[in-house]
Chains A and B, each alone.
Chain A
Amino acid sequence: SQQGEEDPQALSIQEGENATMNCSYKTSINNLQWYRQNSGRGLVHLILIRSNEREKHSGRLRVTLDTSKKSSSLLITASRAADTASYFCATDEGDFVFGPGTRLSVLP
Chain B
Amino acid sequence: GAVVSQHPSWVICKSGTSVKIECRSLDFQATTMFWYRQFPKQSLMLMATSNEGSKATYEQGVEKDKFLINHASLTLSTLTVTSAHPEDSSFYICSGRGQGIYNEQFFGPGTRLTVL
Contacts and interface: CB of A to CB of B under 8 A. Distances in A.
Contacts of A1: 46
- Main secondary structure, interface of B, reads strand
Contact size range, A: 20 to 34
Interface string A27-69: 0001101010000111101001010000000000000000000
Contacts of A45: 1, 106-107
A25 interface: no
Contact of B102 (A30, A41, A94): A30
B103 A43 contact: no
A13 interface: no
Contact of A43 (B32, B45, B46, B110): B110
A99 B42 CA distance: 10
30 contacts: A1-B46, A30-B101, A30-B103, A31-B103, A40-B91, A40-B112, A41-B109, A41-B110, A42-B93, A42-B107, A42-B108, A42-B110, A43-B93, A43-B109, A43-B110, A45-B1, A48-B104, A50-B102, A88-B43, A88-B44, A95-B32, A95-B34, A96-B34, A96-B105, A97-B46, A98-B36, A99-B43, A100-B42, A100-B43, A101-B43
**Interface hub of A1, A98, A100 (most chain B Cβ within 10 A):** A98
Contacts of A31: 102-104
Contact of B46 (A95, A99, A101): A95
A92 B102 CA distance: 9
Contacts of A41: 109-110
Interface of A: 1, 30-31, 33, 35, 40-43, 45, 48, 50, 88, 90, 92, 94-101
Nearest to B107: A43
B109 A42 contact: yes
B49 interface: yes
